Every structure is written in structure tokens, then in C-alpha cells.
Amino acid sequence: MSNDEFFDIKKDWSTIKDRLLRSYLMPYFTKILATKKPVRYIDCFAGAGRFKDGTLGSPLIAYEAAVEALEISKNNDNVLKLYFIEKDKNNFKSLVSNFENKNNNIIGDFFNDSFETTIVDIVNRFGNVNLFLYIDPYGVISLNKSILEKLNLQKLNTVELFINFNANGLFRTCCLALKKHLPKDIHFSGCDDFVEDKMIGSDGLINRINGILDGVEWQEIVSEKYSQSINYKIVEEELLHLYKKFLNKYFEYVIPIPIKMNSDICKYYMVYATNHPDGAVLMGSTMCNAKAINSNIYYPDSLFSFEDLDPEITRANLIELLKEYSGIHLNKLIGFYYDKYGLSCNVKDVLKQMEGDGKILVTRYPAFFKNTNKKSKSWTENANQKVLIGLNK
Ligand SMILES: C[S@@+](CC[C@H](N)C(=O)[O-])C[C@H]1O[C@@H](n2cnc3c(N)ncnc32)[C@H](O)[C@@H]1O
């Protein structure tokens, strides 16, 4: 598949990505506008804006979510701006024309350039804003660590990254770099990153991968696959883990959400990273809702490959975390849980059980509902109510 063909018809896996983006952006924009700080959204690999089959691409999805959120929050539309980076000339032309007749107050700028050369300048000229970066490359080769290192993240109010991380494609790129044949037991076909293969050569590839995975550890991991024929799934997870470890240098909560299409045809991770527990909780609930709806209606058994852990395991994991962080805020606890053990949709339910059987002590502010004077049993933390949790010794 070439770069031109990509935008002919939206593929199923792009549909899922878009649905997840849309589900998160609406509540995200609405909530973050309440901070009263400007919101800056950058689609770093924007594409054409619309597919030739008429379906919306990520830029128009973000635009629609922004318009709707501004209406709901009754905010001045100058407070939220969307920026788009697209390297390809033809895609860029389509992108700009797809935004003709749109509300100019919401549109920050369009850049016909590469992510690698523009993103640092764009971000570093922002002041104390809420920043969201949507990073949707074909493969992984543009995800060089130096970009994050150069971003002046401290001066921003909040930062969220949502990255399409194609671990399957990364493994293929690693094989190419180390001049290894692709293992026969893995089915590689149909992923978007095949577009990237035509753009990159094998020259200097080892250094480029070192720059993505923050070191040389990956070389041993991939070579082991050959010497001991270890399970491919483990290799993929270990490569993802290296990337997560790098992101954790900058973000407290890094949550990879595994997504696969029918069997092994295309598998990738949407990796979400933030320092804000409310964002992590919102992403978790968005994904759990999407999982509940989508797995029943659209792609039975094939959309998300994340499974809820057995409640007993979730409970044991929570106890471990609470030994480390007693008296912790609910949203922080959930954020740390997702970061350490991965997304699981039963965390709050298990916490409720643990309160019921006296394993944890839950302190709520306010302790009573104002109107009814009844004792609060709330499991929601926001600007108006706080929930603190500790182990009951
Ligand atoms: C997977 S597509 C993005 C699809 C888009 N997010 C959507 O949902 O409609 C990747 C896009 O990134 C562009 N691209 C590739 N390398 C790039 C780079 N280094 N910087 C910016 N854009 C790039 C490609 O031309 C292509 O349009």
C-alpha cells in the first residue's frame, strides 16, 4: 500500500483508532476547558483530513469534537486551537481544502513539514497551555527520543500524548536493521507501517531504532527470538516495554492499550501518556466503555485484546500499590494501577468490594451530600469531591 492508496478507503483498524480518538477527545476537551487555560491540540501526522470514501480523518474528527465541546462548555472559541502537521504535499493540499469554510477561530495553523523538524518549535512557543499530541505515523521510525527531550514540558499546564505504536511493525523494522529474515511463524500483512517500508532504507537503521527505544537493549531481545525461538508475543511486549520505560522518564502514567484486528492481521498499541491522574482515569473509562460497546457490536472478540484481570488478581495488585502509597487519592491510585499492571476495567468494582469487606479505609471530602445530608459513598474524584484510600490495618 502506498501513501496515496492509504486515503482511498478507511481500513477497519483506522476506523477503530478514530473511534477511540473521538471517544476520548469529546470528554477531554469538555473537561480541560474548565481549567480556563488555553488548549492546544496537535495532530502530528495529520494526513488528508478526509478519506476518498468520504469518511472523516483524524483532523476533522478533532475539529468536530472541538466544536461540540466549545458549545457545551460555552467557552470562547479562541481558547482552543487545533494544529496540523503533514509532510506529504498532496495530502497537505487535501487537508487544507478540507478545512475551507470551517471556523477559523478554532484552527491554529497547518504545517506542510515533517513532525521531526517542526514539533519542537511549535510546542516551545506555547506558554502555560494544556497540550494534546496525537501521533499517528505509519510505523515507528519518526518516534525519536530526542524530540521529547527537546520539548519544554515543564512550562505547560498539562500534557497528553496519544501514540499509535506499531509494535508488530517495529519488530519487522528491527529484523530489517539486524539483517534477519522475518520469522515464518509470524503473519505480517495489512498494517499501515508497510507504507513506511518504502520510505526508509536499512542504512543507519540500528541507530534510528536505538533512538526510538532509548538504547541498545532491543538488539538482544530481537536476536534472542532467533537463538531460542522465544514466543513472538513476548518479544513484542518487551519492545513495547522499552518504549514505555522511556516515556515513563517524562510521564507518570503510561498506558498501552493493545488493539488487534482479526487474529494477527494487524496489531498495534495506542499508547497514552500523561502526568495527570484525571486524564489517566478518563482514558481508562473511555476505553472500557468503547470495549463494552464495540466488542459486542462491531468486531466480536477482535477489537481490544486487553482482558480484565481476575478480580482476585486485581485485588492483590491494589494491595501491593496501597502498601506503597497509603492514603492515596483515588485517581492517582487508578492511574498508577493502569501504568503498572495495564488497563483493566474492574478496578473500581474491586475497590468497592474491598471497602465493603473492610480491607480499605475510604475517606471522602465532603463526607456528606449537601442537599440530603446523607453519607457520601462516591467513587468519583474531581474538583468538588476527593476520595482518599488507605489499607485498613
Ligand atoms: C497513518 S497516516 C495519518 C492518518 C490520519 N491520522 C487520519 O486518521 O486521517 C500518516 C500520515 O503521516 C504523513 N507523514 C509521514 N511521515 C511524516 C512525517 N515525518 N511528518 C509528518 N507527516 C508524515 C503521511 O503522509 C500520512 O499522511
Is residue 126, in this structure, part of any structural domain at all? Answer: yes
- Are residues 335 and 189 located together in one domain of the fold? no
Please tell me if the CB atom of residue 337 comes closer than 6 angstroms to any atom of ligand 1: no
Specify whether 96 is located in the same domain as 143. yes
304 part of a folded domain: no
Query: Can you give the pLDDT at residue 327?
Result: 94
Bridge-based pairing of strands 107-111 and 130-135 is unpaired
**Does 302 fall in a domain?**
no
Residue of 351, 345, 349 whose CA lies nearest to 290: 345
Q: Which three cell numbers stand for residue 341?
A: 499492571
293 and 316 in a single domain? The answer is no
Residue 87 beta carbon below 6 angstroms from any ligand 1 atom: yes
Range of the structural domain that residue 319 is part of: 311-391
Give the predicted TM-score (pTM) of the model. 0.92
Encoded amino acid at 295, one letter? S
Q: Is 168 in the pocket of ligand 1 (CB under 6 A)?
A: no
- 386 falls within a domain: yes
Q: Is 85 in the pocket of ligand 1 (CB under 6 A)?
A: yes
Count the domains in the chain. 2
Same domain, 282 and 237: yes
Residue 305 inside a domain? The answer is no
The secondary structure of residue 58, as a DSSP letter, is H
94 within domain boundaries: yes
Do 279 and 376 belong to one domain?
no
Provide the pLDDT for residue 235: 85
Nearest alpha-carbon partner for 336 in 324, 353, 350: 324
- Residue 194's pLDDT is 54
260 φψ region: left (φ > 0), alpha (ψ -120 to 50), beta (else): beta
* Sign of the alpha-carbon torsion through 289, 292, 297, 300: positive
62 and 102 in contact (C-beta within 8 Å)? Answer: no
| CA atoms 61, 67, 71, 74: torsion sign | positive
For residues 58 and 94, membership in a common domain is answered with: yes
Last residue of a domain, one of 297, 326, 361: 297
Beta strands in 52-139 (DSSP E): 80-85, 107-111, 130-135
- Which of the listed residues 297, 319, 340 is the one where a domain comes to its end? 297
Query: Is the bond into 38 cis (omega within 30 degrees of 0)?
Result: no
193 lines ligand 1 (CB under 6 A): no
Domain boundary among 235, 265, 297: 297
> Do 155 and 91 sit in the same domain of this protein?
yes
Same domain, 292 and 315: no
Cα 47 to ligand 1 centroid, rounded to whole Å: 5
60 and 127 inside one domain: yes
Asked if residue 260 and residue 348 are part of one domain, the reply reads: no
Residue 136 CB less than 6 A away from ligand 1: yes
Nearest CA owner, ligand 1 atom 19 = 114
Residue 292: C-alpha distances to residues 21, 299, 300 (Å): 16, 11, 10
CATH code of 372's domain: 1.10.10
- Type of residue found at 301: D
Q: What's the confidence (pLDDT) of residue 297?
A: 42
Whole-angstrom CA distances from 305 to 40, 266, 297 are 31, 12, 16
CATH number at residue 213: 3.40.50
Query: Would you say residue 72 lies in a domain?
Result: yes
Query: Is 113 near ligand 1, meaning CB less than 6 Å away?
Result: no
Does residue 368 sit within a domain?
yes
Which residue from 87, 89, 163 has its CB within 8 A of the most atoms of ligand 1, so it is best to mutate?
A: 87
Same domain, 225 and 193: yes
Q: What is the pLDDT along the chain (393 residues), one digit of tens a residue?
A: 566 677 777 666 677 788 889 999 999 999 999 888 999 999 999 999 999 888 999 999 999 999 999 999 887 767 999 999 999 999 999 999 999 999 889 999 999 999 999 999 999 999 999 999 999 998 888 999 999 999 999 999 999 999 999 888 888 888 888 888 776 666 555 455 555 555 566 668 899 999 999 999 999 999 887 776 667 778 888 999 999 999 999 999 999 988 766 555 456 889 999 999 999 999 999 888 877 665 544 444 445 556 667 899 999 999 999 999 989 999 999 999 999 999 889 999 999 999 999 999 999 999 998 888 899 999 999 988 999 999 997
Question: Does residue 229 share a domain with residue 360?
Answer: no
Residue 125 phi, psi (nearest 5): -95, -5
